[in-house]
């Protein structure tokens, strides 16, 4: 018996393989990615504690800032309208950052070895985690937004404004998720990978999320004004409540796209290095 004859087990034949080799390869690459997105989405939505934290933490912060500190903070508008865009961003960032631990888990469990020993594009594991993370985040962000609306948040945005907010948030989530994926590829344990969440959590505090940056001391103000989260928050706030946006939108887009490019390239490189034969 020759060894070649055993390689073609009938059951491995693709079900509906398209004609040309290239289309077929693209087709299966896409199909495999979707399968892995499905896998990560299911896992993400089933880890209830993580989902709960992703919703509860921003909601607690929202309530605390609106009812405890809010009375003492003067922003020129009603404080709840000021703070909700910041909270939403914090929620989106916090959730996206958790992609680092799910990526790390896949890289350190037996999963990656199995995927790599199969004839599939194994980096689809990353895409799966990132897209699933975004799906989960859209859900948790919507829940936080719903709470905000219940306690008196009054957005003035029209359809276009909402679409703009959605687009901005998706870009932001994608950027944070890909950067988180890099972190997950560097970290050796899921706990260590989780540290990325804290970095991302910290940024909104030193931004215009909770208080206008003009009230901060000089050095801090310089950082707060120029760090990526502030222009994104200002853009979302402008779209939702009609505050002036100005150049912030362009800066925000630049940060997000820069983050996506950097994160994507970094993750691809790190993945290749980590899995180099």
Q: Provide the H-helix boundaries in the chain.
A: 21-46, 48-63, 79-97, 99-108, 111-116, 124-150, 159-186, 190-193, 195-205, 218-226, 229-241, 248-274
Measured from the CB atom, is 39 or 221 closer to another protein?
39
Q: Which residues contact 40 (CB under 8 A, 6 or more apart)?
A: 102, 128, 129, 131, 132, 133
Residue 205 in contact with another protein, rule: CB under 8 A:
no
What are the CA-CA distances from residue 103 to residues 78, 84, 95, 191, 272 (Å)?
40, 30, 13, 12, 14
Residue 114 in contact with another protein, rule: CB under 8 A:
yes
Residue 32 in contact with another protein, rule: CB under 8 A:
yes
What are the CA-CA distances from residue 237 to residues 7, 53, 161 (Å)?
59, 24, 10
In the set 19, 21, 46, 217, which binds another protein (CB under 8 A)?
46
Count of residues near another protein by CB under 8 A:
38
Residue 117 in contact with another protein, rule: CB under 8 A:
yes
The pair of structure tokens assigned to 93 is 């960032």
Neighbours of 163 (CB within 10 A): 12
In the set 23, 26, 69, 109, which binds another protein (CB under 8 A)?
109
Residue 76 in contact with another protein, rule: CB under 8 A:
no
In the set 39, 53, 73, 75, which binds another protein (CB under 8 A)?
39
In the set 20, 68, 76, 119, which binds another protein (CB under 8 A)?
119
Residue 19 in contact with another protein, rule: CB under 8 A:
no
Least distance from another protein to the Cβ atom of residue 123, Å:
14
Residue 191 in contact with another protein, rule: CB under 8 A:
no
Which residues are at the interface with another protein (CB under 8 A)?
Answer: 1-4, 6-7, 9-12, 14-17, 28, 31-32, 35-36, 38-39, 42-43, 46-47, 109-111, 113-120, 275, 277
């Amino acid at each position: 018996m020759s060894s070649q004859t055993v390689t073609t087990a009938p059951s491995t034949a693709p079900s509906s393989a398209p004609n040309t080799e290239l289309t077929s390869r693209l087709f299966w690459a896409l199909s495999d990615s979707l399968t892995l997105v499905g896998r990560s989405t299911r896992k993400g939505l089933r880890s209830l504690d993580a989902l709960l934290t992703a919703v509860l933490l921003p909601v607690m912060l929202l309530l605390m800032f609106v009812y405890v500190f809010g009375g003492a903070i003067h922003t020129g508008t009603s404080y709840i309208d000021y703070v909700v865009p910041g909270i939403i961003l914090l929620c989106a960032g916090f959730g996206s950052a958790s992609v680092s631990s799910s990526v790390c888990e896949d890289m350190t469990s037996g999963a990656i070895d199995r995927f790599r020993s199969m004839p599939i594009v194994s980096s689809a594991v990353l895409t799966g985690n990132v897209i699933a993370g975004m799906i989960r985040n859209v859900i948790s962000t919507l829940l936080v937004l719903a709470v905000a609306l219940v306690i008196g948040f009054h957005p003035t945005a029209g359809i276009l404004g909402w679409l703009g907010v959605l687009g901005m948030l998706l870009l932001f989530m994608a950027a944070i998720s890909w950067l988180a994926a890099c972190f997950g590829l560097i970290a050796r344990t899921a706990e260590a990978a989780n540290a990325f969440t804290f970095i991302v959590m910290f940024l909104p505090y030193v931004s215009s999320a909770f208080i206008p940056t003009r009230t901060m001391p000089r050095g801090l103000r310089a950082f707060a004004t120029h760090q990526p989260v502030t222009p994104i928050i200002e853009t979302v706030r402008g779209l939702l409540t009609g505050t002036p946006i100005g150049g912030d939108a362009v800066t925000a887009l630049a940060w997000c796209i820069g983050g996506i490019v950097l994160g994507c390239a970094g993750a691809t490189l790190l993945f290749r290095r980590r899995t180099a034969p």
